[in-house]
Structures are given as structure tokens and as C-alpha cells.
Amino acid sequence: MIRKIARLAIAIVGLLTIGAGWYVVSARQGWRTPDDAKLRARYALPTGRFATIDGQSIHYVDEGQGPAIVLVHGSFASLRMWDGWADALRGRYRLIRFDRPPMGLSGAEPQGRYDAAREAELIGALTERLGVHRFVLAATSSGGESAAAYAAAHPDKVRGVIFANIAAGPLAFRPTAYPLAFRLALWADPYLGGWHMPAFWNGVLTANYADPAKVTSALVREWTDLNNRAQFYLRRPRPPGYVSFARTPADLAAIRAPALLLWSDTDPEVPLAIDGRNALRLLGSTDKRLTVIRYCGHMMPLECGPASVAAARVFLDRVTHDVR
């Protein structure tokens, strides 16, 4: 009996080892990510379009009529992050949103450049192609870096800015006690060759939501599929001494357009008391306001679409001179 149990245990361990080995190999080879045709069928919106700009494929949506609003999403997200805002605003505004390369369904940048300066160039190139010469620029999270850079450099193009939970400067590391499943995913991550398992993306999302119960399995699948597209994309190494968001304080100070800051009250990445107040202080605009969105985490447009877009609409109606 003992020998049978031992043989069974050995067999189970062997099967688990083979399964784990296959999982690692298939992840490292990129076999676990659907091809682009399947991903476009699964995640491209009916109004989604593709254009080649400066050698890279850009996925974007241009919908609605009225004053133009350009929406810039945050890290690891896609233009779908703004779905809630689009539903509320497309009947009154022209909304332009795009997948920041290499995120969403956009392609790789040919030189592997993924920095604020390159992305600010893309904002300019896309709006020029679409014939949009003046617009309100709205950005959340890391999208604020390139949006602030563009607004500072092109005051003639930007009639107003909305910044939601952006990094107002270099971020301070704040240790967090993650759930066991996320800690295990982080432990396994270096062995997967740049592919990230669903538990990893579930951990990223739930850590940034005020109410983790709002993170659905469909959202986790979307983030897993879309973010793993870039597993083998070329990325130019950061120059020595590079610090993320180091340029943003100077860019914020150079902005003169009317500005609305939207900040979540429970943002773990860029806390209201530190980053929100600092962003308000740094902004060079004389017409500026900070509005707090209650019971909301870092990913504001995803988690708190209705509350945040309601606050944004009041600002948009005013700065576009179309109040009613």
C-alpha cells in the first residue's frame, strides 16, 4: 500500500513537473498569446481604425462631433480604458483616442523608442493627420508625461488639459503587501521570458482598484492578451541616469491652458496628499482646479468612469465655450 501511494505521488509530481515545464516553454516562445488577427477580432472596437504613422501601425478611434478631445490612456491599458468617457461624451464632442505603442493593438515603434518625447510627437502627428488643429488634451497615469510634454510645447494647439492621477515627478517606491497569488506570480515572472501570466495582470489591476471586486475575468484576459503582444518587441535601452517622469515638473510649469486635475482619494500609486497637491502647485495655469473622485483607485477611467467623466464634462463645457 505504501509503495502504491509512493508511486502515485511520484507520478503526480512528474506530471506537474512536465506541465510546469510546458507552461514555461510555451510562455517563453510566445505560443500562449493569440495572433494579431484574433486579437483585433476580439478587442478592436467597431469604430477602430489603423494608420501607419512614422513607420508604426497605430490603432485609434475617432468618433463623435463637436470640439475635439484627445484621450491618452495609462500604462498597460489601451484606448478601451476610455470606453465609459466615450459613452458619455461622444454625442457632444469629437473624441480621439489611440493605443500608445506598444500597448493595445498598436504596433512596435521601429527604433524601440517608448518615451515621452516620442509619444508627444505621435500626438501631434495623429491630430495633424485627422485635421484637428486645436483640442482639449486629457491623460491619465503615465500618459500624463507625454501629454504634459505636448501641452507645454504646443500652447497654440491645446485649449485645455485634464490630468487624472498622473505622476507629477519621479515616483517614490512605496512597499506594498501584495496577496499571495500576486507574490507567486511575481516570483515566477522572471522565468517566463517577458510573458506575464493572468495572475500577474490580475494582481496589477486589483492593486490599483479601490474595490478589487470590480476587476472582472474578462478584463484580466484583455490585459493578458494585449500586453503580451509586445513580448518580443525591440526596446531601446534607457540612457544612463534616466529617471521616469523627471521632465514632468518643468512641463507642468510651462502649461498655461485651463487645467483640471482629477484625483482619486485612494490612489496607491500617486497619492492625493502628495502627488495630487504637488501637481496643482506645479501647474503654470492660472485657471486650474483639483477635483477629488471618491472611492476610486489609480485606474480612474476604468473603475470610476461615471463619476470622473461627470466632473470632466463641466470643465469641457466651460473651456470649449459651449455651456448649456
pLDDT-derived band at 268 (thresholds 50, 70, 90) equals very high
In this predicted structure, what is the pLDDT of residue 15? Answer: 62
Determine the Cα–Cα distance for residues 117 and 137; give it in Å rounded to an integer: 16
The mean per-residue pLDDT over the stretch 125-152 comes to: 98
| Burial label, 101 (beta-carbon count in 10 A; 0-12, 13-18, 19+) | buried
Percent of the chain with pLDDT over 70: 94
In this predicted structure, what is the pLDDT of residue 9? Answer: 62
| Burial label, 318 (beta-carbon count in 10 A; 0-12, 13-18, 19+) | middle
Q: Is the pLDDT of residue 157 over 60?
A: yes
pLDDT tens per residue across span 294-316: 999 999 999 999 999 999 999 99
pLDDT tens per residue across span 65-78: 999 999 999 999 99
- The b-or-e profile of 40-58 (16+ CB within 10 A means b, else e) is eeebbbeebeeeebeebeb
Q: Is the pLDDT of residue 123 over 60?
A: yes
Q: Is the pLDDT of residue 148 over 70?
A: yes
Average pLDDT, the chain: 93
Q: Please give the C-alpha separations between residue 279 and each of 77, 162, 286, 290, in angstroms, as whole numbers.
A: 22, 12, 13, 9
3-state helix, strand, coil in the chain (%, to 5): 45, 15, 40
Determine the Cα–Cα distance for residues 69 and 229; give it in Å rounded to an integer: 28
What is the reported pTM?
0.94
pLDDT tens per residue across span 194-216: 999 999 999 999 999 999 999 99
